[in-house]
């Protein structure tokens, strides 16, 4: 078990299937004798997330056993992770400069720390408290408009924005601003008033906002009579069951008559009020609902009764005073948000690290110089200055901290330099396992070959997990050193077999070598076949591609007729298979099929190879290819028949789609877009010319995803048929 890595848990947010959180199947990675395990997974399966988990990123966890020891994200010192090119930090995109860190691992640790700290500060220290303590929870908050410090105002707008949540804040500027703030003394205030201000100002009909907008008050001595009548009516209604006055004990009263009289008097008084006073009563005083810590009702009624604006202005000044408190408290919130963090020192340390130069041994210098100079075709040199600092020169000129546009290097060349240094650090790492996430993505063929060579030779003696979605890398590894790796397919799909699925040596061989695949089709495959007819039909696209590149025109033309849904010629596919592969063993049963026969197939629970076959991946591939062919023929057949397409002019799928929906109506556009978006499934994988990788359909899409795609296409065709019938 010393060469086996056993996972029992992989978790990062909701990225991984629940079966990987309690990992007990397909959970082993066995390193080859050369120490390499290749994990293939198409885009979207979570390869980069897996690399981040092993790198102990925030909100991730894992449990793994290796060399009789157990490791988790808490105690792991097991993995040295080389991230994909988007995460490498040699070439800093934001600052447009080369960054040659002496301790890249430390640099990554600082990156993670800073990211985590900023997240805590922006969410817990600021955004959560802004919502809880200041009632600011959205960018459109009216309270934000009352923030007087422009920097704090910008930060709050970004933090309260659900789409941004702090991402729009320049971090260097933020630190400079926060460190310049001082804690301010908070004057005395009534907490009830302050709470009322924060809650009311965010309400749809803010009372305080309306008060601040008041300018004119009309004197009216009777205004309090409205309030008095309201109160009297309230008391009478409350005690309407009594026959005597609750105040004076008068027993000769009729409550209902008194209420009617009071309401009539109130109405008469109210009608005599001016419009502005009515508006104040309706929109401010009557909406207070008993919660009035600023005594707004009393102040406004007395001011109107006396015809004196002084109480109103005093009230406005008090409200402004509480907005002053509001801004002081906000200032203190931001000024103290870094108190429990070491982010200032860590940020300075990180910046300093980005500016340092690596210490290299003679062997390391030789590696860097050769890898760079021999592959980017420019004069790159590493030299030391009088202070023993390493200088990276381009044409004898220093280019650190220079604008990237002045470096005259392509993105591929920049990434190549970056990865070279990453491999250097990985070589010198004391971690037991090196994890490489898509190491050759976006490189041209020369770079891919050299990087693959470096992975094998420079990291010789290191156990490596190579994550990739590129079958070219798998083949390059094999051609650099045969049998140097074990291969796994990584699956992470709900309700499917998940984990690291082993590709056995037989299938690994036919995946890497076309001649081995052809040899299989000539002999050994016969004892693996469960359903000869389905096997031969699933082979039609591959056979057509093979006939094309071997110039067997007659066979190619016959197979072409089976790959268009508007054709009805019958073809003996047994004869073609035996002829193409020159088999010693022949398929003796004769199968004549047409495109219409394929369209009518029932593909539920099909078995092409035997359940116990040594080639499960090939079996999955053949099933997928059959589904692709079935869908493509159905689409062509339906469109040609529904829209009476002239197939002599419009003979391929793309032309048929655009002819069928050639109008510029929204419906036709939507239909064109739908089918064109499915063209890879319906067309590309079914030709194979120039790319005889028969396995691509199986390893680039899960069974679940293919089923979903199939159902959407079949449903589309069914609806199209129903519509055509109704017309």
pLDDT in tens, 290-313: 788 988 877 877 777 777 888 889
How many angstroms separate the CA atoms of 565 and 596, rounded? 7
Bridge partners, 529 (sequence order): 609
37-51, 231-245, 596-610: lowest mean pLDDT where? Answer: 231-245
The whole-number pLDDT of residue 98 equals 28
What is the per-residue pLDDT across 477-523, written as a single tens digit (0 to 9) for each?
A: 998 899 999 999 999 988 888 999 999 999 999 999 999 999 999 98
Residue 359 has pLDDT above 50, yes or no: no
pLDDT score recorded for residue 567: 93
What pLDDT shows up at residue 134? 93
| Mean pLDDT for the stretch of residues 50-57 | 91
Neighbouring residues of 255: CB distance < 8 A, sequence distance ≥ 6: 236, 239, 240, 242, 243
Query: Residues 568-611: pLDDT tens digits?
Result: 999 999 999 999 998 677 888 999 999 999 999 988 888 899 99
* Residue 685 reports pLDDT greater than 60: no
pLDDT band at 104 (very low <50, low <70, confident <90, very high): very low
Q: Environment class of residue 306 by beta-carbon count within 10 Å: exposed (0-12), middle (13-18) or buried (19+)?
A: middle
pLDDT at 217: 75
Per-residue pLDDT, 85? 65
Q: What is the pLDDT of residue 384?
A: 47
d(CA 683, CA 55): 40
**Residue 527 confidence class, pLDDT cut points 50, 70, 90:** very high
pLDDT at 351: 79
Tell me: pLDDT of 327 over 70.
yes
Q: Does position 540 have pLDDT exceeding 50, yes or no? A: yes
pLDDT of residue 214: 84
Q: What backbone phi and psi angles, to 5 degrees, belong to 489?
A: -100, 125
Residue 533 has pLDDT above 60, yes or no: yes
Of 485, 482, 574, 500, give the one whose Cα is nearest residue 537.
574
The span from the CA of 382 to the CA of 393, in Å, is: 6
Q: Please report which confidence band the pLDDT of residue 455 belongs to, taking 50, 70 and 90 as the band edges.
A: confident
Residue 725 confidence class, pLDDT cut points 50, 70, 90: low
3-state secondary structure (DSSP) of residue 245: coil
Mean of all residue pLDDT scores within the chain: 82
Query: Would you say 534 and 598 are in contact if contact means Cβ atoms under 8 Å apart?
Result: no
For the stretch 106-133, pLDDT in tens is 665 787 899 899 999 999 999 999 999 9
Q: What is the pLDDT of residue 604?
A: 85
- pLDDT (mean) for 370-384: 63
Instruction: Give the span between the Cα atoms of 546 and 689, in whole angstroms.
Output: 8
Q: What is the pLDDT of residue 572?
A: 97
pLDDT at 358 over 60: no
Instruction: Report percent pLDDT > 90 for the chain.
Output: 43
pLDDT score of 387: 40
Helix axes 310-335, 191-201, angle to 10 degrees: 90
Q: Is the pLDDT of residue 285 over 80?
A: no
468: Cβ–Cβ under 8 A, 6 or more apart, which residues?
38, 39, 40, 41, 47, 438, 439, 440, 474
Query: How many angstroms separate the CA atoms of 488 and 501, rounded?
Result: 5
Whether residue 38 contacts residue 464, with contact meaning beta carbons closer than 8 Å, is answered with no
pLDDT value of position 236: 57
Residue pLDDT, tens place only, 128-158: 999 999 999 999 999 999 999 999 999 999 9
Q: Mutual orientation of helices 104-120 and 343-355 as an angle, nearest 10°?
A: 150
Between β-strands 91-92 and 390-394, what pairing exists: parallel, antiparallel or unpaired? unpaired
Residue 727 has pLDDT above 70, yes or no: no
Confidence of residue 416 (pLDDT cuts 50, 70, 90): confident
Q: What is the 8-class DSSP label of residue 60?
A: E
Q: How many CA atoms lie within 13 A of 397 on its CB side?
A: 8
pLDDT 10s digits, 622-641: 999 999 999 999 999 999 99
pLDDT classification of 252: cutoffs 50, 70, 90: low
Q: Rounded distance, CA 559 to CA 599, Å?
A: 15
Residue from 256, 228, 229, 257 nearest 240 by CA: 256
Pairing of strands 28-30, 397-398: unpaired
Which among 35, 33, 19 has a CA at the least distance from the CA of 466?
35
pLDDT for 378-394, tens place per residue? 665 656 455 444 466 66
Residue 142 has a pLDDT of 92
Q: Report in angstroms the alpha-carbon separations of 451 from 37, 362, 381, 436.
A: 17, 21, 19, 12
For residues 711 and 727, what is the distance between their CA atoms, to the nearest angstrom?
24
Distance CA(677)–CA(724), nearest Å, equals 23
Burial class (CB in 10 A: 0-12, 13-18, 19+), 642: middle
Structure tokens given for 124: 């817990």
pLDDT confidence of residue 678: 75
> What confidence score (pLDDT) does residue 496 get?
86
- The pLDDT assigned to 353 comes to 63
Q: Model confidence at 552, in pLDDT bands (50, 70, 90)?
A: very high
Which residue, chain included where needed, has tokens 């200088």? Answer: 391
Q: Which of 330-334, 411-415, 624-628 has the highest mean pLDDT?
A: 330-334
pTM of model > 0.75: no
CA distance 236 to 230: 10
Q: What percent of the chain has pLDDT over 70?
A: 77
Residue-level pLDDT at 199? 92
């Amino acid at each position: 078990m010393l060469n086996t890595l056993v996972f029992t848990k992989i978790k990062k947010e909701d990225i991984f299937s629940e079966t990987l959180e309690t990992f007990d199947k397909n959970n082993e990675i066995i390193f080859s004798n050369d120490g390499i395990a290749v994990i293939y997974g198409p885009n979207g399966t979570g390869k980069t997330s897996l690399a981040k988990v092993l790198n102990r990123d925030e909100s991730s966890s894992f449990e793994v056993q290796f060399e009789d020891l157990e490791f988790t994200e808490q105690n792991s010192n097991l993995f040295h992770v080389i991230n994909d090119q988007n995460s490498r930090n040699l070439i800093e995109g934001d600052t447009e400069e080369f960054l040659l860190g002496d301790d890249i691992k430390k640099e990554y640790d600082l990156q993670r720390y800073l990211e985590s700290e900023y997240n805590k500060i922006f969410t817990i220290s600021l955004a959560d408290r802004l919502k809880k303590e200041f009632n600011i929870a959205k960018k459109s908050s009216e309270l934000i408009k009352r923030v007087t410090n422009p920097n704090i105002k910008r930060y709050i707008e970004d933090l309260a924005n659900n789409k941004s949540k702090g991402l729009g804040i320049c971090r260097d500027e933020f630190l400079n601003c926060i460190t310049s703030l001082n804690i301010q003394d908070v004057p005395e205030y009534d907490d009830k008033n302050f709470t009322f201000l924060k809650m009311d100002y965010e309400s749809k009909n803010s009372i305080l906002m309306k008060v601040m907008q008041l300018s004119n008050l009309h004197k009216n001595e009777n205004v309090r009579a409205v309030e008095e009548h309201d109160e009297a009516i309230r008391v009478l209604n409350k005690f309407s069951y009594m026959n005597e006055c609750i105040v004076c004990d008068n027993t000769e009263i009729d409550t209902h008559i008194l209420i009617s009289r009071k309401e009539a008097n109130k109405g008469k008084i109210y009608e005599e009020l001016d419009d502005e006073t009515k508006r104040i009563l309706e929109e401010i005083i009557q909406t207070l609902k008993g919660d009035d810590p600023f005594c707004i009702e009393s102040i406004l009624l007395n001011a109107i009764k006396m015809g004196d604006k002084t109480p109103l202005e005093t009230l406005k000044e008090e409200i402004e005073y509480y907005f002053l408190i509001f801004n002081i408290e906000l200032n203190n919130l931001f000024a103290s948000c870094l108190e429990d963090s070491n982010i200032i020192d860590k940020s300075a340390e990180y910046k300093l690290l980005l500016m340092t130069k690596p210490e290299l041994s003679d062997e390391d210098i030789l590696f860097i110089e050769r890898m760079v100079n021999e592959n980017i075709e420019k004069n790159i040199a590493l030299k030391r200055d009088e202070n023993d600092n390493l200088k990276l020169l381009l044409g004898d000129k220093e280019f650190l901290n220079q604008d990237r546009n002045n470096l005259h290097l392509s993105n591929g060349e920049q990434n190549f330099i970056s990865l070279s240094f990453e491999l250097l650090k990985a070589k010198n790492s004391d971690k037991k396992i090196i994890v490489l996430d898509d190491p050759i993505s976006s490189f041209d063929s020369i770079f891919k070959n050299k990087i693959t060579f470096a992975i094998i030779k420079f990291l010789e003696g290191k156990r490596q997990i190579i994550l990739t979605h590129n079958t070219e890398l798998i083949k390059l590894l094999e051609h650099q050193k045969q049998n140097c790796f074990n291969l796994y397919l990584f699956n992470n799909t709900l309700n499917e077999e998940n984990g690291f699925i082993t590709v056995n040596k037989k299938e690994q061989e036919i995946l890497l070598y076309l001649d081995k695949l052809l040899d299989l089709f000539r002999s050994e495959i016969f004892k693996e076949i469960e359903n000869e007819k389905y096997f031969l039909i699933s082979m039609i696209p591959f056979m057509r591609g093979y006939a094309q590149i071997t110039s067997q025109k007659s066979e190619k033309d016959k197979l072409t007729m089976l790959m268009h849904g508007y054709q009805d010629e019958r073809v003996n596919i047994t004869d073609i298979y035996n002829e193409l592969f020159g088999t010693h063993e022949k398929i003796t049963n004769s199968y004549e099929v047409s495109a219409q026969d394929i369209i009518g197939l029932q593909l539920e629970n099909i078995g092409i190879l035997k359940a116990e076959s040594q080639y499960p991946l090939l079996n999955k591939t053949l099933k997928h290819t059959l589904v692709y062919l079935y869908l493509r023929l159905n689409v062509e057949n339906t469109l040609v028949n529904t829209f009476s397409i002239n197939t002599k002019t419009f003979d391929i799928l793309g032309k048929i789609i655009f002819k069928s929906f050639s109008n510029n109506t929204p419906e036709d556009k939507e239909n064109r877009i739908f089918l064109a978006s499915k063209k890879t499934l319906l067309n590309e994988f079914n030709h194979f010319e120039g790319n005889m990788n028969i396995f691509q359909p199986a390893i680039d899409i899960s069974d679940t995803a293919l089923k979903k795609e199939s159902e959407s296409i079949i449903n589309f065709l069914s609806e199209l048929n129903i519509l055509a019938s109704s017309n």
